[in-house]
Structure 1
Amino acid sequence: MSSSKSSLFAARWLAVPAAALLFTACASTSSTSTTTAAAQAPAAPVKVKVFVAAMFEIGKNTGDRAGEFQHWYERYWKDAKPIAVPGALQPVYCNADGVCGSVLGMGKVNSSSSMQAILLNPQFDFSQSYYVISGVAGTPPSRGTIGEVSWATWLVDYDLGHRWAPEENKPGEPTFMPRKGYEEYRRFRLNPDLVGWAMKLSADTPLKDSESARKYRLRYPDAAARRAPFVGTGTHMTGDTFFHGPGMSKQAQYIAKLYGADDYVITEMEAAAITLVIKRTHGTDRVMSLRGAVNFDQGNPKETTLQHLDPAPGETAGGFAETVENIELVGSRVVDHIVANWSTWSGGVPKP
């Protein structure tokens, strides 16, 4: 063989393993890239069936004095890992059944900003979720009692309007005027079918009571105030103003009627704002507001409003521990029913 042919043969022979090596290297790199991509791929979002929103916890989530979140946490999330959400006050907890919850913070701005951060976080799928806005509240003695638990039929914002001092008004007339432009923000009628289901599933829940609460109720002459704890419905009034006194209570009822809502039965600080956030992303058909009364919105006939706001030692209403337990006892009946019958509820609220 001539030297030129020998050189050509050698070049062709050497080219074969080089190409093979190149193919092997590319295949290896592709495999490594695929494995790395798979490892770095984000986990599928949690499909949230029910989200429970509390406003505060007193200490830890378990093992000490319970606030609004502890009984929910101990029922659903004791073994759950916290999921951090940028922009939210506290982590979110979820169990394997799709029940999630978090502490959002007190007040309209605090709670609604947390809710929005959670709703928009890609770690969660809220496309079919139900919501339980859960917490403690006040009640007028003419319509409620310490330890009761109430499902909202309407949520009304107490703050969106004009107010002025009573001495600048005609005696006995309201010192409130609605502000135009807030018609879509100031009231929400919650899904009547869902409220009907909530009452059907929870109205007969055995509720806790305390001797201190029973004694405190007797300071009030109203029949409603002296009742044992019960499960009821009505309008929940949302306001950052922690209002007290018969005059302000009367004004809350005036606003509820002015807006065409049911009787005012609960005063709280968050639900209307949280519901507005949910409405803008998923609507309000699956929103529930659940509150337990731990105080009356006014003093008894023998004390002034200031005395009621700043009671002497031993003069406060009892029943806080029992009320926060009652809230979870009532609410979990609805949560458990929805999850256990998800094939029926996932598409929307069935007719009661």
Structure 2
Amino acid sequence: MPSQVKVVLITMFEPPGDMPGELSVIREREGLVPFELPGSGLKDLYRSPDGQILAIVAGVGTANTSISMMALGMSPELDLSEAYWIVVGIAGGNPNVCSLGSPVWADWCVDGDLAFEVDAREIPEEWPCGILPLGSKEPYGESSMPQELFGYPYQVYRLNSKLIERSVSLTKDIELYDNPEIAEIRNKFENDTATQPPRIQTGGTLAAARFWHGARHNAWAERWVDYWTGGNSQFFTSGMEDTGTLHAIAHLHRVKQANMHRVLILRTISNYTMPPPGGNVIDSLTGSDHDGEFPAHAVALENGYRAVSTVFRDIIKNPDVWASLSEA
């Protein structure tokens, strides 16, 4: 009989060497142990001693995560049909709406790679950017292209608002970690939002395999998320995987191997998506103007753990409550 799992934790980034990755803190604090899934081709799998929690390092980028999720979900060794899937990882943060170290529960997820694009040196003067929705004749214009042309669409997903509301309620008052070093980086920004200490927030997440950076790209991301969600969400976080992860889970849902209504995304801000006023975009991107590309890396990992552990413990403790929130 397949092993039933209550919670699947999906992480993506686990670098070699001494630098901790997205699963490191969770694995150590929860005592997760290595787990093998024969025939799946997967590595970097872990589970709790009681088998209720399964964790994976799915890889960086939409392609890696979608393949990993399909291999995991289709394994005959596991029953994930009623599991709760929680993405937990670091992210770039929009300094116009959030601050370094803050955990953000995603309400919508938008893909930033599926698009037409014109070289920046050839953009018409009247255009705000050179990225267009597939099938459109101008930025943020109406698309004439059927979504089915490229197979099942995965341009935009709305997550279960009831699960998000409970997650926010459970985590809004938890103590979050902060330190003077990232406070100093935050204070380089001029708006009150970016300079605030870490706090629980809710907003849209943008998934793009391109690690983009800069004020103009940030303005594009704000309008891109607004466009694809019909004004129902705002750009908060930038990651590299989540539409690939959701695309796979949506397919698993169709074949009754997963429940799409039981998915959460938690992204914690490890860096801003653009430099502070007067800052150099290349130095900001490469980390030359501070300690590495992800100046709030350690804070983001710690706060991500504090938030996600609060939620998965509640899922295990109160299964009936969560089941009632995940009904279609």
Q: Which TM-score band applies after superposition, normalised by the shorter structure? A: 0.7 to 0.9
Q: Do 1:49 and 1:129's aligned partners in 2 also have CA atoms closer than 8 Å?
A: yes
Task: Work out which of the residue numbers 297, 308, 315 in structure 2 matches 1:331.
Answer: 308
SS in 2 for 1:249: helix
**Distance in 1, Cα, partners of 2:168 & 2:327:** 14
Q: Which residue of 2 aligns with 1:281?
A: 252
**Distance in 2, Cα, partners of 1:173 & 1:192:** 32
Count of paired positions: 304
Task: Work out which of the residue numbers 162, 165, 183 in structure 1 matches 2:119.
Answer: 165
Q: Which residue of 1 aligns with 2:256?
A: none
Task: Find out whether 1:131 has 2:85 as its counterpart.
Answer: yes
Offset, 1:171: 3.5
Spell out the pairing of 1:233-252 with structure 2 (5 A cutoff): 233-252=202-221
Offset, 1:313: 6.5
Task: Find out whether 1:231 has 2:200 as its counterpart.
Answer: yes
Task: Work out which of the residue numbers 252, 265, 275 in structure 2 matches 1:299.
Answer: 275
**Distance in 1, Cα, partners of 2:51 & 2:322:** 14
| Residue deviations 1:281-314 (CA, integer Å, cap 9, x gap) | 1242111000111111011122221221234374
SS in 1 for 2:99: coil
Offset, 1:66: 2.5
Task: Work out which of the residue numbers 201, 211, 218 in structure 1 matches 2:187.
Answer: 218
Q: Which residue of 2 aligns with 1:196?
A: 165
The CA RMSD measured in Å over matched residues stands at 2.1
Report the identity percentage.
26
**Distance in 2, Cα, partners of 1:129 & 1:249:** 35
Q: TM-score, normalised by structure 1?
A: 0.81
Offset, 1:190: 0.2
Q: Do 1:202 and 1:330's aligned partners in 2 also have CA atoms closer than 8 Å?
A: yes
Amino acid corresponding to residue 240 of structure 1 in structure 2: A
Rg larger for: 1
Q: Which residue of 1 aligns with 2:226?
A: 257
Residue 175 and residue 313 in structure 1: after superposition, are their counterparts in 2 closer, same or farther (change >3 A)?
A: closer
Offset, 1:211: 1.2
Spell out the pairing of 1:1-352 with structure 2 (5 A cutoff): 44-59=1-16, 65-78=19-32, 80-85=33-38, 86-96=40-50, 98-166=52-120, 167-179=122-134, 180-182=145-147, 184-259=153-228, 260=230, 261-282=232-253, 283-312=259-288, 314=290, 316=292, 318-346=295-323, 349=326
Offset, 1:95: 3.4
| Residue deviations 1:133-171 (CA, integer Å, cap 9, x gap) | 110000111111110000000000001110112342234
Q: Relative CO higher for 1 or 2, CA cutoff 8 Å, sep ≥ 6?
A: 2
Offset, 1:84: 3.1
- Consecutive unaligned residues in structure 1, runs of 5 or more: 1-43
Q: Do 2:34 and 2:44's aligned partners in 1 also have CA atoms closer than 8 Å?
A: no
Residue 345 and residue 301 in structure 1: after superposition, are their counterparts in 2 closer, same or farther (change >3 A)?
A: closer
